[in-house]
Amino acid sequence: MYKIEILSSADKNLRRINSKDREKIALGISKLSNNPRPHGSKKLKGSEFYRLRIGDLKI
């Protein structure tokens, strides 16, 4: 199992999102602790990071 850390800047941005989308994002992030690269995740060009689509949102 992996440990998920949310930066304070990310937390601040999450607070600006409507509660329905924020719940979807929180669920998606919590699932990353079991599988950090779930089906549908995509590696970002020129980076070691991945993006994950949750509905219309990309995290």
Q: Where are the domains of the chain?
A: 8-58
pLDDT in tens, 40-52: 899 999 999 999 9
53 phi and psi angles, rounded to 5 deg = -95, 130
**The pair of three-digit structure tokens given for residue 40, joined into one six-digit string:** 């549908």
Cβ atoms of 56 and 24 closer than 8 Å: no
DSSP code string of 2-49: PPP---HHHHHHHHTS-HHHHHHHHHHHHHTTT-SS-TT-EEPTTSS-
**Confidence (pTM):** 0.75
pLDDT in tens, the chain (59 residues): 889 999 999 999 999 999 999 999 999 999 999 998 998 899 999 999 999 998 888 88
